[in-house]
Amino acid sequence: MNKLILILVSLFLPALIMAQSKAEVGLMLGGANYQGDIASSKTFSFKQTQAAGGIYARYHVSRHISLRGSLFYSKLKGDDLEFVEEGAWRADRGFNFTNPVYELSFTPEFYILGNTIKRKSLRPYIFIGIGAAFTNPENNLVEKDIDAVENEPGYYPTSHFSFPIGAGINFDINDKFTLGLEASTHFPLTDYLDGISEAANPDKRDWFVFGGLTLGYKFGAIVPTYVDTDGDGVNDDVDLCPLVSGKLKGCPDSDSDGIADLQDACPDLAGDKRLKGCPDADSDGIADADDQCPNTRGVKALNGCPDSDADGIADINDSCPDLAGTLAGKGCPDDTDGDGVYDTVDNCPTEKGNLNGCPDADLDGIADADDFCPLVAGNKNTKGCPDSDSDGIADAMDDCPLVPGISNNKGCPEVFVTRGNEVVDRSTETAVNTSGYTYLVNDIYFNNTRVKISENEISKLDDVARLMKEDPSLNLKIKGHTDDTGDIKLNDELSMRRARRCYKYLAAKGIALNRMTFEGLGGTEPKYDNSTEEGKKLNRRVEFAFIK
């Protein structure tokens, strides 16, 4: 028996070692795990894993076939006392053994993808072979006074045919060294790896498994000078698709867009590399397959559709695509008072009117809220009140309503001289204040594109309301502003909404509407430098101009 095993092994190992042009030698290092009468009832347990290793010689016969000869060693062991949690019978029986195992084997290997496809790639393989296992088990049957036939010297042989079966994967570290990972199961034709059979379970044979790393050294070039598996004229070493014919680095490109089908999400349609090979007809960066508006540039948030008024509603679903609106209004702004003027441009959103959304009872083109004489037609210079002599002083306050005069003389004529940019009363030589407005409360500031008044700014509005109540002679102009960022029209609307928000707050505080006006100036009157972020922040404001 032993002679036959040695003869078989001696026939193959010299051939492997001598064939240096396609030969490789190496080391195996890992762990072995015994399975038999004293093993755990579980399939695998690390408690009985032992260090294992060996040497091998390999000869590459062809692209898919290699032959290997190996010498393997491990000292297997098993002990009932390591598995007492599986049952009290383990402790009662108390068997244990050790066995140094040498295995000399010959194993043909089959490389699933070939061992010359892309030298630097992973090369998986499987194998099944034949070998000889040499054992010398030692157990404690005698110590435990077990009367078993296996205690008789020479009762069972210590060399056996063995059949290793397994799989692995190799990778070239460089042109000479190969690193691998391998797992195998070894089936010696014996039930005496542990030296116990009749005294335990004679119906099943013992076996063991191995898992570990391999490190090989190659004597010659394994990869042929030229291999073209798919016949596309591209060497497998540089062919990204070695098993499929193609002209783009060896890969097919069905739509000729310069993107290999392997990486092309739309392999039958020419497309953009940024979109993984899919077309984008409107060049908005959204593939047509994902674009609800494939022929019109749009935004990703709206699945490729445009949103002209930036209200978050795609134009195709927006009844007012040029006016920012709400989802409830199908893209149109709210019209709270139902006067046909949207709230965003309605100066009086809660009051039905005929002049920019505000009522104008005397039809003088001045909204009643801004009209000091809402029932009598007037002009803008006198805030809606009549001015017969056109001197800018309403008739009701003009002592000379039919003769142009000056405000300092209650509408009657008076002689004045000018000094530089000042207007000076000749009789007193004092300058006359012509600006009219006084700013008694600090500006209110807003976040970018926001209309909501923050909690920190509410106190300023409360101060305005307090001053108006303390002095009934005061009137107020509320002026809304923005920075210069964005569309002019949108900024005008935004500044108007900010001013109107303050107007509505003061009205809710009991300030009469005929004492207040508001306007939106957009970004036309910056108070600070718009070239800095701090300046822009301070320009997003509402001012309160008081006048008596």
List, for residues 157-170, the tens digit of each pLDDT value: 999 999 999 999 99
Secondary structure percentages of the chain, helix, strand, coil, to 5: 20, 25, 50
For the CA atoms of 168, 172, 178, 181, what is the dihedral angle to 10 degrees? Answer: -30
**Type of residue found at 218:** K
pLDDT of residue 530: 92
Predicted pLDDT of residue 63? 81
Under a CB-based contact definition with an 8 Å cutoff, are residues 479 and 439 in contact? no
Instruction: Report residue 264 as tokens.
Output: 């092309």
| pLDDT tens string 304-323 | 899 888 888 888 888 888 88
Higher pLDDT, 3 or 247: 247
pLDDT at 351: 84
CATH 2.40.160.20 segments of the chain: 2-218
Q: What is the mean pLDDT of residues 207-235?
A: 79
Cβ count within 10 A of residue 268: 10
Report pLDDT for 354: 85
For the segment 234-255, the average pLDDT, to the nearest whole number, is: 83
Strand partners, 69: 57, 106
Most confident of 15-29, 61-75, 397-411: 61-75
pLDDT score recorded for residue 399: 64
Q: Are residues 97 and 34 in contact, defined by beta-carbon separation less than 8 angstroms?
A: no
At 460, list the tokens: 């300023």
pLDDT at 148 over 80: no
Instruction: Give the per-residue pLDDT at 426.
Output: 37
- Could you tell me where in the chain the CATH 3.30.1330.60 domains are found? 444-547
Comparing 5 with 198, the larger pLDDT belongs to 198
**The pLDDT of residue 412:** 63
- In whole angstroms, give the CA distance from residue 246 to residue 368: 79
Q: Give the mean model confidence (pLDDT) for residues 423-439.
A: 49
Contact 256, 246 (CB under 8 A): no
Q: Residue 258 above 70 pLDDT?
A: yes
To the question of pTM greater than 0.85 for the whole model, the response is no
**CATH number for the domain whose boundaries are 2-218:** 2.40.160.20
193-207: pLDDT as tens digits: 888 887 677 778 899
Mean residue pLDDT of the chain comes to 83
- The fourth-level CATH superfamily of domain 444-547 is OmpA-like domain (3.30.1330.60)
Report d(CA 76, CA 70) in Å as an integer: 18
